[in-house]
Amino acid sequence: MSTFSESAATALALIASFDPGLWTVVGRSLAVSATACVIACGLGLGLGAWLAVARFAGRDAVLTVLNTLLALPSVVVGLLVYLLLSRTGPLGFLGWMFSFKAMVLAQVVLVVPVVTALTRQTVEDAERAHGEQLRSLGAGTGLRGLLLAWDERYALLTVLIASFGRAISEVGAVMIVGGNIDGFTRVMTTAIALETSKGDLPLALALGLILLVVVLLLNALISGVRHWRERLDGGVVAPAAVLAA
Amino acid sequence: MKRDAFNGALVAPVRRPPGASESGAASRVAAADLPLLFELRTVRVRLGPVHALQDVTLQVRHGERVALVGANGCGKSTLLRLLNGLLQPAAGHIARDAAARQALLFQRPHMLRTSARNNIALGLWLGGLRWPDARVRADAALARVGMTDLAGRNARTLSGGQQQRLALARAWSVQPDVLLLDEPTASLDPHAKREVEALIEEFANGSEAMTLVFASHNLGQVKRLASRVIYLEQGHVLADLPVHDFFSGPLLQQQYPEAHLFVKGELV
């Protein structure tokens, strides 16, 4: 217990002193995950919205695969991206191995299924309730998906939290493709793993606290924005239209 | 499945039900002169395992005001969706006047989380109008239903009656030849019901002269708005009569006892 309290006190002191080593790692972590989330949301929101409204042969199989990918272990993603980016791999010519870009790519692969699956579910619920109205106005499949996603934009903020949380908290993939190189590819999670194994608990704890606070703040911010806009918009989603016949 | 547009002049005259009254027959003859809007021949629609419509054969002409009545689940909404093109028949033949514009109004209209004006403009934009022009016409539509002062209000914050009037404005904005209405006043309070019904009546009788096809459980409303009543039961059209013959005289009781029981039950 004394070790914990001493470590916690040292960790707080490290945070308060704005230790450059600590904050560099934090900044890199945020940059990698934010970049990955922006790319993943760009891909996943569009794909999820389309999957929600499109009907095609094999759709159920696609959704099963997508839902399976939600539970994709990050070390497996790391391994796959490693194989892709390694010197003899199909993307080896890019020279991204052990770089910022490699970590972003790994997190994009990890997060795209999360964004896609959650968007698909949200938009499909909206499609079930209101899709006919938009169809009767002449909205085709793609446009309907985008309009419904836009209409559910506050609900989709939750997707942003979930994807960022998944990206910033994973350790396996960035460890494998980033290499945890000090001053270059070290991020919060890989630093926590390394410092814990070295016995430097204060630094690990400080990073862990910052990680928690970052996610907590983001969550609170998005939740606040969502509630504010919903109050402004009368944002309670209307119940599904009851078909009388 | 075959689906095509038609020339109204080529279609066979409407069958006159045996024993129809003079006034009903007269209105039928007048209606038969009008060009065809929809023609369904032995149409079947399946919704999953359910046979929602079975062997439905009917015609709707421009200028008619057709009420669809029947118990819940009888196929009224399905028929409206079929006419609108949201559903396709599993069998049979449906023809629509390709030049006629349609608008479908739902019992609970869906409004996007944006202003009343934008909700109308979006429908016009989807129909091919440029966004600035769509917004101008949206303002005209709002004025038509007396909602100019609510143009900038978020549509989701409007009351049920206001949302239904907004939906009517959205429908009016595309200047439809036919208005398809799925129980448009079912979820409204009496005041809002009167307002919406008055607007519908204006659209049918005023300069717009829109054809109406509407589903309703409110037989008083059917009497006020319809010129013709189609009674459906379990996906079948059991009776198709001028409104006078449907509600008055012995014809309904003699020829269509199920429909008569329905009307009696509703009116008691």
Taking only the tens place, the pLDDT of each residue in B77-104 is 999 999 999 999 999 999 999 989 999 9
Average pLDDT over every residue of B51-59: 95
Average pLDDT, chain A: 88
Categorize the per-residue pLDDT at B256 as very low, low, confident or very high, splitting at 50, 70 and 90.
confident
A135 contact residues in B (CB cutoff 8 A): 86
| CB-based contact A132 B81, cutoff 8 Å | yes
* Mutation site for B-interface testing, chosen from A137, A146, A156 by largest number of B Cβ within 10 Å: A137
Percent of chain A at pLDDT > 70 equals 94
In this prediction the pTM is 0.81
pLDDT the model gives residue A14 = 81
CB B142 within 8 A of CB B199: no
Categorize the per-residue pLDDT at A73 as very low, low, confident or very high, splitting at 50, 70 and 90.
very high
What is the ipTM for the molecules in this complex? 0.81
Q: Worst-scoring range by mean pLDDT, A32-41, B25-34, B213-222?
A: B25-34
A137 contact residues in B (CB cutoff 8 A): 122-123, 126-127, 170
Q: Does residue B4 register a pLDDT over 50? A: no
Categorize the per-residue pLDDT at A3 as very low, low, confident or very high, splitting at 50, 70 and 90.
confident
Categorize the per-residue pLDDT at B131 as very low, low, confident or very high, splitting at 50, 70 and 90.
very high
Categorize the per-residue pLDDT at A2 as very low, low, confident or very high, splitting at 50, 70 and 90.
low
Number of Cβ within a 10 Å radius of residue A153 = 15
**Distance from C-alpha of B158 to C-alpha of B115, rounded to nearest angstrom:** 10
pLDDT the model gives residue B11 = 34
By Cβ distance, the residue of B154, B170, B217 closest to A234 is B154
Average pLDDT over every residue of B71-80: 94
Least Cα separation, residue B13 to chain A (angstroms): 29
| CB-based contact A241 B110, cutoff 8 Å | yes
| CB-based contact B110 A138, cutoff 8 Å | no
pLDDT the model gives residue B32 = 64
CB A118 within 8 A of CB A47: no
As its CATH architecture, domain A2-233 has Orthogonal Bundle (1.10)
Average pLDDT over every residue of A55-78: 94
Fold (CATH) for B2-111+158-267: Rossmann fold (3.40.50)
Partners of residue B58 on adjacent β-strands: B40
pLDDT of B165-207, one tens digit each? 999 999 999 999 999 999 999 888 999 999 999 999 999 988 8
pLDDT of A128-168, one tens digit each? 988 999 999 999 999 999 999 999 988 898 888 889 989 99
